[in-house]
Structure 1
Amino acid sequence: MTIIPEIESFKADLTAIRHDLHAHPEIGFEETRTAAIVAEALKSYGLDEVHTGLGGTGVVGILKGEGGAGRRIGLRADMDALPMDELTNLPYRSTNPGRFHGCGHDGHTTMLLGAARYLARNRDFTGTVVFVFQPAEEGLGGARAMLADGLFERFPCDEIYGLHNMPDLDIGEVAVFPGKAMAGASFFDIAIKARGSHAAMPHNSKDAIVIAMALAQNLQTIVSRNVEPLKPAVLSITKMNSGSAYNVIPEEASLAGTIRFFHDDVGELVRTRMREIAAGVAQSYDCQIDVDIRDVFTVLENDEAATEALREAAAEIVGTDHVITEPRPTMGSEDFADMLKAVPGSYCWVGHGGTVPLHNPGFILDDEILPIGASLLARIAEKRLAA
């Protein structure tokens, strides 16, 4: 492994930043403290411009090379935490109840700050680096909010790159491949309005719980019986709520969950069938069912040329033998996909120690990943802006 020596030299500073961000997590569109720390750090590094407030709490830094005008390379990190409690015993664990960096975005932010610090001291390139610190990646539409605020109109990029930590990979491994890499996603909420009654007199009811169970079972047939088997899809019901007492049959129930897909036509098919099945169940049980489905994530597709450039940069940092190029599409979703729809680029995964998965209350990010990720981000900018 060949971490950039200068970045390795301030590894302790990066670790301190990451631990501070981890101890003070903020969820989507609430990252005011995080954004202020990012903006102040970028100013202290001597960037040419620092802009705040994009997409609500997003930050953009501009760094111009000594070689003059040229191409513009974007580097992006997400800043938000998850709305969940942390169940670790770390000395720098979350001090904000119900807020936890359980996906490692504190590490991503720190890595991009490390790349900015290094590149600001080593401007022997031609062109401009655009550092994008994005809010609200966790299903709240932070990328779309920045795009709606004119991200690429105000700060044009020829290419853009991003990364994510991955405990499923070994420390020092990088996975990157072209084409469809992460699934598109929709979130849904379904409200059932029926008729309640005394639990001892169910014949007087239109039991919302029974209706919810029937609907849930029917929805689970969509992927197995409507979607072409060679086109992957997932429909997961993740919430079911109803009732408040032992002796009351409730008149309302709700279901919620997510759809994942790699083909837009599959996403549309699943959404259509959900509405049709809900309408059929409503007619069968003589009740009202309202279905709200929201498009949240675009399918993430890596540009072939940009991916090859990112692969080469990764090989220089971790070694060719540690770069995984075999396609490993994941049903997870990432709103960096929306930026890749506007600008060509690529997204990769960087391995680190640990066996606890992302979004788990016991997740711990390995600090050894910080100089690796920072070096990778810096190197791809240097390579793409070489004179």
Structure 2
Amino acid sequence: MINKQRIIDRFISYITIDTQSDPESQTTPSTEKQWVLARKLADELQEMGMTEVSIDDHAYVMATLPANVPHQVPVIGFISHFDTSPDFNATDIKPQIIEDYDGKDIVLNEEKNIILSSEYFDDLKQYKGQTIITTDGTSLLSADDKAGITEIMTAMQYLIDNPEIPHGKIRVGFTPDEEIGRGAHKFDVEKFGAEWAYTMDGSQIGELEFENFNAAKAIVKVRGKGVHPGYAKDKMVNSQYIAVDFINSLPRLETPEHTEDRQGFFHLSSMKGDVEETLLEYIIRDHDLGHFNARKEMMQDLASEICSQYESDCISVEITDQYFNMREKIEPVMHIIEIAKEAMKEANVEPLLKPIRGGTDGAQLSYMGLPCPNIFAGGHNFHGKYEYVPVESMQKATEVIVKIAEMTSMKYK
């Protein structure tokens, strides 16, 4: 049995280190503070007896658990990211441990009247009687993805401490900057040397994901003409009004708050401007590649149409692809999904196959030659003050890692 208190202690030791990434930075890692946890992980891997421990110039950490069986077994890997989302405060995280959760609302911060509502966040109710770790309402928790790191590290320690469990060679990897879409950019797949891997980066217990959004980022620049407002008639062109026209011309119900499952969307993530220039930042998402490409074309066509109305080159749209749906790369090797499903069932976890409404390092790694589906890490409400994780879910995720290692070894005996 995976020790519950060790899970808690390890998890808290990681989340109290600020590793927030920075999308404006051009370095890797994007923030110096990510090095603190990267070095800590490398040291811990060395201390627990892992081999081939390395940390490269960009803070990517890798290590090996050597095989303990004589027969040939494919090398498999487990991967998590150690950066934390820049979407909310990640400094001075003060976790709260709720033992024997009663199924009711949880007061995160009495002074600020911040409540984790069991009615609004109804997933909470399924964890009645369990131990839940929450924030204090002033920060995110960073269970995304320090829960995954905790599970991988604990599983490796468990396999080392229990050598009677058969397994082949296992590689582990920890990456920076996943939250800003760069987690796999400098990942050395050849050095990692695994035939396939799993990211421990999903949400609720049971999740097993091998399809995700196709993703792109769009920068929309709107140019106007600034003139003194007292003398502006027939001369001023306010870029902000043109930007509003652009925003309102996109399908209003195809936004994150109106879509689910495999439905795609346009998401206006940032807007800033003045009369002279307005800058809109969008993310474009769709599971279907054809629909994804059509969304990109729609934005370009809309810009052209508005430019023709104003008889000027007033809008430009720069679109950059970020990652693609990993399903195309996983379907030829579906046995790696079957192994994960069987491992979950062995751990008394019901597999929950669902598409990821987001991205993961695994998507990019799959296109880099390392098939890499995603397994639950256990957390909920990522990237905000309502984030929480049940400890029992982390225990089960750790057990699933151990079972995957064992079952892979047995299947190739």
Q: TM-score, normalised by structure 1?
A: 0.80
Residue aligned with 2:184, SS: helix
Instruction: Measure how far apart 1:329 and its partner are.
Output: 2.1
**Residues 207-222 of structure 1 aligned to structure 2 (within 5 Å):** 207-220=238-251
The CA distance in 1 between the partners of 2:168 and 2:374, in whole Å, is: 21
Pick from 4, 17, 41 the counterpart of residue 24 of structure 1. 17
The structure 1 residue matched to 2:185, chosen from 144, 158, 163, is: 144
CA 61–164 in structure 1, closer or farther in 2 if over 3 Å, else same: same
| Distance across 2 between alignment mates of 1:334 and 1:201 | 52
Deviation at 1:159, TM superposition (A): 1.8
Deviation at 1:239, TM superposition (A): 1.6
Kindly tell me: are residues 236 and 89 of structure 1, through their superposed partners in 2, closer, same or farther at Cα, counting changes over 3 Å? same
Q: CA deviation at 1:287?
A: 4.3
Inter-partner Cα distance in structure 1 for 2:378 and 2:134:
23
- Partners of 1:122 and 1:20 in 2: CA distance: 24
Asked if structure 2 preserves the Cα contact closer than 8 Å seen for 1:74 and 1:132, the reply is yes
Matched position secondary structure for 1:385: helix
Shift, 1:265, TM fit: 2.7
Match of 1:308 in 2: 338
Which sits farther off after the overlay, 118-127 or 265-274? 118-127
Structure 1 residues without counterparts, runs of 5 or longer: 225-229, 244-249
Equivalent-residue separation in structure 1 for 2:276 and 2:391 (angstroms):
50
Residue 160 (structure 1) aligned with residue 194 (structure 2): no
User: 2:157 — aligned with what?
Assistant: 117
Do the aligned residues in 2 keep the contact of 1:73 with 1:385 (CA within 8 Å)? Answer: no
Q: Distance in 1 between matches of 2:262 and 2:16?
A: 41
What is residue 182 of structure 1 aligned with on the other side? 212
CA-CA distance at 1:336 after TM superposition: 1.3
In 2, Cα distance between equivalents of 1:144 and 1:298: 14
Q: How does 1:35-184 map to 2 (within 5 A)?
A: 35-53=38-56, 56-68=58-70, 70-83=73-86, 84-85=88-89, 90=95, 100-102=140-142, 104-123=144-163, 124-125=165-166, 127-146=168-187, 151-166=188-203, 169=204, 173-176=205-208, 181-184=211-214
Query: Which residues of 2 match residues 159-308 of structure 1 at below 5 A?
Result: 159-166=196-203, 169=204, 173-176=205-208, 181-203=211-233, 204-220=235-251, 232-243=263-274, 250-285=275-310, 286-301=312-327, 302-303=330-331, 304-308=334-338
Q: Which amino acid aligns with 1:50?
A: V
Structure 2 SS opposite 1:220 = coil
Structure 1 residues 333, 107: closer, same or farther in 2, change over 3 A? same
CA deviation after TM superposition for structure 1 residue 223, in Å:
6.1
Structure 1 position 126, deviation (Å): 5.2
Structure 2: how far apart are the matches of 1:324 and 1:48? 32
Partner of 1:247: none
Task: Tell me, yes or no, if the aligned pair for 1:232 and 1:261 is still in contact at 8 Å.
Answer: yes
Which residue identity does 2:216 align to in structure 1?
A: S
Higher deviation after alignment, 44-53 or 82-91: 82-91
- CA deviation digits over 1:239-266, x for unaligned, max 9? 22123xxxxxx11111112111112232
SS at match of 2:374: strand
Moved more, 328-337 or 251-260: 328-337
Q: Distance in 1 between matches of 2:40 and 2:344?
A: 28
Contact residue 222 and residue 273 of structure 1 kept, 8 A: no
State the SS of the aligned residue for 1:329: coil
How far apart are the structure 2 equivalents of 1:89 and 1:63? 33
Whole-angstrom distance in 2 between the partners of 1:382 and 1:223? 44
Specify whether residues 157 and 126 from structure 1 end up closer, same or farther in structure 2 by C-alpha distance, changes over 3 A only: same
What is the percentage of aligned positions where both structures have the same residue?
18
Superposition deviation, residue 165 in structure 1:
4.6
Query: How far is the alpha carbon of 1:351 from its aligned partner?
Result: 4.3
Q: 1:223 to 1:165 in 2, by over 3 A?
A: closer
Instruction: Report matched runs for 1:359-378 at 5 Å.
Output: 359-378=383-402
Contact 2:15 2:142 in 1 (8 A): no
Residue 49 of structure 1 aligns with an amino acid whose one-letter code is E
- AA partner of residue 347 (structure 1): N
Q: Give the CA deviation at 1:161.
A: 1.4
Give the paired residue count: 348
Aligned-residue RMSD, C-alpha: 3.0
Residues 330, 159 of structure 1: CA spacing in aligned structure 2 closer, same or farther, 3 A cutoff?
Answer: closer
Query: Corresponding residue for 1:246?
Result: none
Q: 8 Å contact 2:140–2:384 — kept in the other structure?
A: no
